[in-house]
């Protein structure tokens, strides 16, 4: 681990410095999740703080009645595609920003930022018109494109930060060893970017996974809606079914949390990178 | 390179998932006509429509109906985007509260010609048809009524054995049912949707029967209305929860569902929510009480129904579907599932109507010759903007004691009067 | 030839992005600018047409709510992002240490980020509503944090922290991983304690990551509408109305698209100015 080891660890210091704040924060994190679980598992009208008596009615409502199975599949497709395209383009753009001083570099950065200054709701109609002329309306393709376009600027800026953190000397050393620049990039830079890739990739995936506005506005087919649309079905003027919302929430959050649990291990720099640098 | 494997597996999964389904085009060459139907309140009511569509397709094998459920909170935005982008459905659920806007954008097809020749002609409730026609300048029927709603006060029978008959009794009940620390007699809707409910309460108290007087001035700030609002606002935090000030419908229902609140004003549409939380035998409903004048006045709810869009390429099929939806059997099925008043007069006489106490209360109240129905100016395209974004925050100020009821109602009245004058001018009235 | 090709490399790398932005964002942003100079109101179609600077005049000189929402937006962004940064940094440092159960702790503290806006607000409504919420177990069964003008601000801040802190934590943890271990070793050899190593090694090395994350998050929180819209609707009595929420009320709810566009342009100019100023002041990307 790169984290330094304390000169005098001392159990008490560790508890105060590490476990106490972490425990408090975990409590803050878990209570809302717990509340969601309680409401997902108890009948409507129950106010008990424990999930008892248990019912699975809400899950049946969202999975069968509201069609979450299809929404779920669509969310995965859109999320993964957007993640893949965003990450590849972000590495390219981020590398250009971090490693080259080219004409228009500052302008490019400002333009990237500018794209984030206008709320999506204000751009719906022109975006809709563009997608319609490209025959993308009513397809998951429109969501993949729209979400990628909106994720990309931030992802590039973030990625450029991660690329600059990798010392150029590492790349030079590889090139001296006879690698071409692309090869040097793939062999030594990319492995070191692993934490950055995870961070940017999850950013892109999660924003796509959670985007409600585009998912509702650019798609008008029941079998092409995504999970956020399904979630919003549960709360409306004539029906506020918090049990169904919570059950839908469990369905929506569980896979992402699980994938995260696996992926977070890679938030650690590649071991090979250390060897090259050595 | 474990990470690569993980990503690869993830990607393969997604691509594989992409391979199945999503291949059903709109015209699959089988000679079937596909029409799209947008439900303006997708969610809990989706299964009801799915059942009706199944029946319709069985009776009309050459037509396929594609159902799209739009969440009610976003339905206007969805329609506005679709109309601007030229990608509207064939049939859509529409209510009179945004009908004027859609007609103003020339998005809808009038139903008069179809209705004249249709077997349902003469079977749709006249007050609902009139209400739809009064919403647009040309007096045409741009939406075919499916259902009507009425404001009621829901109450818990355990806490309140006999419902109040007058507003005075209501205020007394609200007082006596409030017990520290957290049991309340009533809950005021202070968040989104507040103004409409306040209007309904005020007019039922004051007994005023018109929204505008002969000179085109709004009657909203009539002294009787001010008197009522002053009384009602004084209940806040005394007989109602503090949370009320930002409570929209979902938050109200969440709170009422805990059983700590005796009475809650909403409309027939939330019946299923209350049954789910309390059980059908624990919940009752009464019409908004009469005021000191003894007259019963009811503010008409928006009429909810179906519209055919101008851009539809399959208008014949679209009308056929609408006709099916408002036919006796379908209309009866839909309204019995949602607990609202059927637009089809034949469906109104079905036995389930009388068997649902809340619905019987509503139907009896509306049928009572002593009841006056006041129509809010849904024809004003600004009506929803005035009664939502413009004045909802001001109503919160009234509850918080930062604004006097008189000043609030004066502001609201002025906005309505101005909008009415501008509308009259624009339409040469 | 070789130098020409070398010079073309960065342009080639950014070309797909430039193409996407040109195809999908230039026209929509331009249309907002265009409509800000128009009367465009679906509820008053008879009055549509060129408005000149009228929308801006109304906004600057007649609309108290514009200024009020601007003030609240500033407060919201500064407090929210400031707290997210502090907690996120602390959290990143903690889960960067090695301890038993670290993998589990990491996945747990990061997980709220994965929860969508609709759901986040739904959960917090349940947590804050008296009767279904958490406060009745803390001895305040009647407390209505969202309804009280004094408590609504901390309440919405906490709800947004829940899903916002993980973003910082992840980015900064990734940043921490990029700090070469030998820097710490050198500092240790020099006899630097934990605190000094943090100040002289960790913070400077993280500077760019912090600057970027703060900037991006500020822009994001500035334009974030969903949480406040559902949780408070901007209330009570507009005390939690941010500029974009006000835009949504005007352009979406009241269908006054022209005026909403003018408000959006105001937000655009403010964000542009603040971002450039921030990047300058923080000397982002300066060689150390």
Residue % of chain B over a pLDDT of 70: 93
Q: Which residue has the higher pLDDT, A60 or B1?
A: A60
Q: Are residues A23 and A69 in the same domain?
A: no
Residue A89 C-alpha, separation from nearest chain C C-alpha, in angstroms: 7
| pLDDT tens-place string over residues A119-160 | 888 999 999 999 999 988 888 999 999 999 999 999 999 899
Domain boundaries, chain C: 51-281
Mutant choice from A72, A161, A180 vs C, greatest count of C C-beta within 10 A: A161
> Does B187 contact chain C (CB < 8 Å)?
no
* Chain C residue with the nearest C-alpha to that of B244: C147
> What's the mean per-residue pLDDT of chain C?
89
pLDDT band at A77 (very low <50, low <70, confident <90, very high): very high
Is B251's CB within 8 Å of C129's CB? yes
Q: Are residues A228 and A100 in the same domain?
A: yes
> What's the mean per-residue pLDDT of chain B?
90
DSSP-based three-state secondary structure for B289 = coil
Is B10 domain-assigned?
no
pLDDT band at C285 (very low <50, low <70, confident <90, very high): low
List the structure tokens of A253: 């959050």
Residue C174 pLDDT:
86
Is B156 domain-assigned?
yes
Q: What sign does the dihedral A95-A100-A103-A109 (CA atoms) show?
A: positive
> Does B397 contact chain C (CB < 8 Å)?
yes
Residue % of chain C over a pLDDT of 70: 97
Of C144, C237, C250, the CB nearest to B397: C237
Q: Are residues B203 and B132 in the same domain?
A: no
DSSP, residue by residue, B221-242: T-HHHHHHHHHHHHHTTTTS-G
Q: Are residues B255 and B206 in the same domain?
A: yes
Q: Are residues A65 and A40 in the same domain?
A: no
Residue C103 pLDDT:
84
| pLDDT tens-place string over residues B225-247 | 999 999 999 999 999 999 999 99
- What is the tally of structural domains in chain B? 2
Which chain A residues contact residue B18 at CB under 8 A? 77, 140
Predicted confidence (pLDDT) at residue B21 exceeds the cutoff of 90? no
Predicted confidence (pLDDT) at residue B77 exceeds the cutoff of 80? yes
Beta strands in B217-324 (DSSP E): 261-267, 283-287, 296-299, 304-309
Q: Cα separation of B371 and A86, whole Å?
A: 62
Is B413 domain-assigned?
yes
Which chain B residues contact residue C129 at CB under 8 A? 243, 251, 254-255
| Pick from C24, C225, A124: nearest CA to B78 | A124
Which chain B residues contact residue A84 at CB under 8 A? 11
Residue B155 pLDDT:
97
Residue A276 pLDDT:
36
Lowest mean pLDDT among B378-382, C78-82, C208-212: C208-212
Cα B319–B324–B326 angle (5° rounding)?
Answer: 95
Is C132's CB within 8 Å of B402's CB? no
A14, A33, A55 — which closes off a domain? A55
CA Rg value for chain B: 23
List the structure tokens of B152: 């009621």
Cβ count near A207 (within 10 Å)? 21
pLDDT band at B1 (very low <50, low <70, confident <90, very high): very low
pLDDT band at A254 (very low <50, low <70, confident <90, very high): confident
Which region, left, alpha or beta, applies to residue A225 given φ > 0 means left and ψ of -120 to 50 means alpha?
A: beta
Q: Are residues B229 and B341 in the same domain?
A: no
- Mean pLDDT for C238-262 is 93
**Host domain of residue B344:** 32-148+302-348
Q: Are residues B268 and B329 in the same domain?
A: no
Which chain A residues contact residue B17 at CB under 8 A? 73, 76-77
Q: Are residues A126 and A37 in the same domain?
A: no
Q: Are residues B323 and B219 in the same domain?
A: no
* Chain A residue with the nearest C-alpha to that of C24: A127
Residue B315 pLDDT:
96
Cross-strand bridge partners of residue B179:
B183
Q: Are residues B330 and B399 in the same domain?
A: no
Residue A271 pLDDT:
43
- Mean pLDDT for C87-105 is 89
The answer to whether the CB of C217 falls within 8 A of the CB of C277 is: no
Which chain A residues contact residue B86 at CB under 8 A? 132
Of C11, C105, C275, the CB nearest to A113: C275
> Does B183 contact chain C (CB < 8 Å)?
no
CA Rg value for chain A: 23
Is C114's CB within 8 Å of A260's CB? yes
> Does C176 contact chain A (CB < 8 Å)?
yes
B287's CB contacts (< 8 A; 6+ apart) are: B150, B151, B152, B153, B296, B298, B361, B362, B365
| pLDDT tens-place string over residues B381-391 | 889 899 998 99
- Mean pLDDT for A8-31 is 83
Is C235's CB within 8 Å of B245's CB? yes
Predicted confidence (pLDDT) at residue B39 exceeds the cutoff of 80? yes
A28, A55, A82 — which closes off a domain? A55
Is B400's CB within 8 Å of C149's CB? yes
Q: Cα separation of A229 and A142, whole Å?
A: 16
Q: Are residues B383 and B334 in the same domain?
A: no
DSSP-based three-state secondary structure for A42 = coil
Q: Cα separation of C259 and A215, whole Å?
A: 26
- Mean pLDDT for B288-301 is 90
Predicted confidence (pLDDT) at residue B6 exceeds the cutoff of 70? no
- What is the CATH code for C51-281? 1.10.3720.10
Q: Are residues B245 and B324 in the same domain?
A: no
Is B270 domain-assigned?
yes
**Host domain of residue A4:** 1-55
Which chain C residues contact residue A22 at CB under 8 A? 91, 94-95, 105, 109
Residue C144 pLDDT:
85
CATH number, domain with residue B242: 3.40.190.10
Q: Are residues A6 and A136 in the same domain?
A: no
Predicted confidence (pLDDT) at residue A270 exceeds the cutoff of 60? no
Residue B17 pLDDT:
45
Predicted confidence (pLDDT) at residue B334 exceeds the cutoff of 90? yes
Q: Are residues A210 and A239 in the same domain?
A: yes
Cβ count near A38 (within 10 Å)? 20
Predicted confidence (pLDDT) at residue C286 exceeds the cutoff of 70? no
Say how many CB pairs under 8 Å bridge A and B.
135
Q: Are residues A128 and A178 in the same domain?
A: yes
Which chain B residues contact residue A221 at CB under 8 A? 66, 68
Residue C85 C-alpha, separation from nearest chain B C-alpha, in angstroms: 29
Residues 21-80 of chain B whose Cβ lies under 8 A from any Cβ of chain C: 77, 80
The ipTM value here is 0.89
> What's the mean per-residue pLDDT of chain A?
86
pTM of the predicted structure, to 2 decimals: 0.91
Is B68's CB within 8 Å of A47's CB? no
DSSP-based three-state secondary structure for B286 = strand
Is B11's CB within 8 Å of A233's CB? no
A35, A55, A75 — which closes off a domain? A55
Q: Cα separation of A82 and B26, whole Å?
A: 26
- What is the tally of structural domains in chain A? 2
Which chain C residues contact residue B404 at CB under 8 A? none
Is B196 domain-assigned?
yes
Burial of B122 (0-12, 13-18, 19+ CB in 10 A): exposed
Predicted confidence (pLDDT) at residue C261 exceeds the cutoff of 80? yes
């Amino acid at each position: 681990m790169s984290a330094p080891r304390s000169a005098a660890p001392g159990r008490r210091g560790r508890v105060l410095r590490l476990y106490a704040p972490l425990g408090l924060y975990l409590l803050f994190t878990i209570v809302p999740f717990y509340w969601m679980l309680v409401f997902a598992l108890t009948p409507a009208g129950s106010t008990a703080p424990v999930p008892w008596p248990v019912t699975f009615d809400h899950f049946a409502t969202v999975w069968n009645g509201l069609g979450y199975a299809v929404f779920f599949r669509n969310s995965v497709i859109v999320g993964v595609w957007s993640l893949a395209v965003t990450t590849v383009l972000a590495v390219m753009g981020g590398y250009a920003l971090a490693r080259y001083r080219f004409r228009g570099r500052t302008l490019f950065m400002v333009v990237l930022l500018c794209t984030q200054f206008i709320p999506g709701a204000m751009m719906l109609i022109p975006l809709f018109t563009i997608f319609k002329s490209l025959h993308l309306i009513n397809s998951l393709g429109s969501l993949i494109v729209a979400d990628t376009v909106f994720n990309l600027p931030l992802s590039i800026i973030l990625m450029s930060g991660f690329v600059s953190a990798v010392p150029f000397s590492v790349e030079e050393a590889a090139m001296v060893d006879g690698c071409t620049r692309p090869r040097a990039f793939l062999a030594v830079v990319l492995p070191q970017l692993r934490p950055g890739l995870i961070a940017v990739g999850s950013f892109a995936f999660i924003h796509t996974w959670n985007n409600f506005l585009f998912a509702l506005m650019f798609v008008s087919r029941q079998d092409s809606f995504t999970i956020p649309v399904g979630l919003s079905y549960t709360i409306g003027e004539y029906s506020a079914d918090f049990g169904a919302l919570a059950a839908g929430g469990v369905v929506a959050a569980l896979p992402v949390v699980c994938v995260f649990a696996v992926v977070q291990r890679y938030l650690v720099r590649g071991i090979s990178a250390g060897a090259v640098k050595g | 390179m474990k990470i690569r494997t993980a990503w690869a597996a993830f990607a393969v999964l997604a691509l594989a998932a992409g391979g199945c389904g999503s291949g059903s085009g709109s015209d699959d060459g089988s000679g079937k006509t596909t029409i799209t139907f947008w439900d303006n309140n997708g969610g809990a009511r989706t299964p009801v429509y799915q059942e009706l569509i199944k029946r319709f397709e069985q009776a009309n094998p050459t037509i396929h109906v594609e159902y799209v459920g739009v969440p009610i909170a976003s339905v206007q935005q969805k329609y506005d985007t679709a109309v601007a982008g030229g990608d509207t459905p064939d049939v859509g659920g529409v209510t009179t509260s945004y009908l004027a806007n859609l007609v103003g954008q020339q998005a809808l097809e009038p139903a008069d010609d179809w209705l004249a020749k249709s077997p349902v002609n003469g079977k749709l409730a006249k007050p609902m048809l009139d209400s739809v026609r009064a919403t647009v300048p040309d007096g045409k029927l741009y939406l075919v009524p499916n259902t009507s709603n009425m404001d009621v006060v829901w109450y818990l029978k355990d806490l309140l054995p006999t419902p109040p008959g007058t507003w005075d009794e209501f205020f007394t009940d609200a007082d006596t049912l409030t017990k520290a620390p957290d049991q309340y007699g009533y809950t005021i809707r202070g968040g989104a949707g507040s103004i409409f409910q306040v209007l309904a309460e005020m007019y039922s108290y004051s007994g005023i029967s018109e929204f505008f007087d002969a000179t085109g001035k709004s009657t909203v700030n009539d002294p009787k209305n001010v008197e009522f609002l002053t009384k009602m606002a004084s209940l806040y935090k005394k007989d109602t929860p503090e949370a009320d000030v930002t409570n929209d419908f979902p938050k109200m229902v969440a709170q009422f569902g805990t059983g700590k609140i005796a009475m809650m004003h909403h409309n027939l549409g939330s019946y299923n929510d209350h049954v789910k939380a309390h059980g059908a035998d624990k919940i009752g409903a009464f019409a908004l009480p009469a005021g000191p004048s003894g007259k019963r006045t009811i503010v008409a709810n928006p009429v909810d129904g179906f519209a055919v869009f101008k851009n539809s390429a399959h208008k014949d099929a679209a009308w056929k579907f609408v006709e099916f939806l408002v036919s006796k059997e379908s209309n009866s099925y839909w309204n019995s599932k949602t607990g609202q008043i059927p637009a089809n007069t034949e469906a109104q006489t079905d036995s389930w109507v009388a068997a649902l106490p809340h619905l019987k209360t509503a139907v009896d109240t509306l049928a009572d010759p002593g009841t006056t129905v006041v129509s809010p100016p849904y024809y004003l395209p600004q009506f929803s903007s005035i009664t939502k974004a413009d004045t909802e925050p001001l109503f919160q100020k009234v509850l918080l004691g930062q604004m006097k009821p008189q000043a609030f109602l004066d502001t609201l009245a002025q906005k309505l009067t101005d909008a009415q004058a501008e509308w009259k001018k624009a339409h040469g009235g | 030839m070789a130098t020409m090709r070398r010079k073309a490399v960065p342009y080639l790398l950014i070309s797909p992005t430039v193409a996407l932005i040109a195809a999908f964002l230039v026209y929509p942003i331009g249309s907002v600018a265009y409509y800000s100079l128009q009367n465009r109101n679906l509820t008053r179609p008879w009055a549509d047409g060129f408005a000149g600077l009228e929308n801006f005049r109304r906004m600057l000189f007649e609309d108290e709510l514009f200024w009020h929402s601007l003030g609240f937006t500033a407060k919201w962004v500064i407090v929210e992002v400031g707290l997210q940064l502090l907690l996120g940094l602390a959290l990143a440092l903690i889960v960067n240490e090695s301890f038993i159960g670290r993998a589990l702790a990491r996945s747990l503290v990061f997980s709220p980020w994965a929860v969508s806006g609709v759901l986040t607000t739904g959960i917090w409504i349940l947590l804050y509503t008296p009767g279904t919420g958490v406060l009745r177990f803390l001895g305040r069964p009647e407390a209505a944090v969202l309804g009280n003008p004094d408590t609504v601000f901390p309440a919405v801040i906490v709800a947004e922290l829940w899903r916002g802190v993980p973003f910082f934590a992840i980015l900064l943890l990734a940043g921490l991983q990029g700090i070469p271990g030998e820097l710490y070793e050198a500092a240790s050899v020099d006899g630097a304690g934990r605190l000094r190593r943090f100040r002289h090694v960790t913070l400077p090395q993280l500077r760019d990551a912090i600057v970027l994350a703060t900037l991006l998050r500020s822009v994001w929180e500035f334009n974030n509408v969903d949480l406040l819209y559902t949780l408070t609707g901007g209330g009570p009595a507009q005390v939690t109305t941010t500029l974009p929420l006000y835009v949504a009320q005007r352009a979406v709810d009241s269908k006054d698209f022209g005026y909403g566009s003018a408000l959006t342009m105001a937000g655009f100019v403010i964000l542009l100015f603040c971002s450039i100023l921030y990047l300058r002041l923080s000397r982002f990307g300066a060689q150390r």
